[in-house]
Amino acid sequence: GAVVSQHPSRVICKSGTSVKIECRSLDFQATTMFWYRQFPKQSLMLMATSNEGSKATYEQGVEKDKFLINHASLTLSTLTVTSAHPEDSSFYICSASTAGDYGYTFGSGTRLTVV
């Protein structure tokens, strides 16, 4: 079946630094990538939607200059958390899909801790 590889699985960074999270679709072409953030004991909140080759569409309240999303190819999308602060500590999950298909394939998630 469809697989999305997400790296790193865990990362600890210092406040003020940037962190890049990668999601790769291994056996299908991801025309759309969704990025979610999940705080402890809460639901998955959509941060942004990106289509291959286009600028990402951010949800209300999500700072596009802080959370940089790149979807340059049909198999790779990245989320960069810039100038990270402790409040950015969360579980980040990507979800890939293909146009014309109802399925959503989730990455394994990245636990970000900002100290």
Q: How far is the CB of 91 from another protein (least distance, A)?
A: 7
User: Residues 72 to 101: which contact another protein by CB under 8 A?
Assistant: 91, 93, 95, 97-101
Q: How far is the CB of 27 from another protein (least distance, A)?
A: 15
Q: How far is the CB of 38 from another protein (least distance, A)?
A: 9
Beta strands in 1-115 (DSSP E): 4-7, 10-13, 19-25, 32-38, 45-51, 57-58, 67-73, 76-81, 90-97, 105-106, 110-114
Look-up of token digits 């999303």:
69
Contact criterion met (CB below 8 Å) for 74 and 52: yes
Contact criterion met (CB below 8 Å) for 110 and 90: no
Q: Does 5 bind another protein (CB under 8 A)?
A: no
Query: Binding residue for another protein (CB under 8 A) from 11, 46, 68, 74?
Result: 46
Residues that bind another protein (CB under 8 A): 31-32, 34, 42-46, 49, 51, 91, 93, 95, 97-104, 106-109, 111
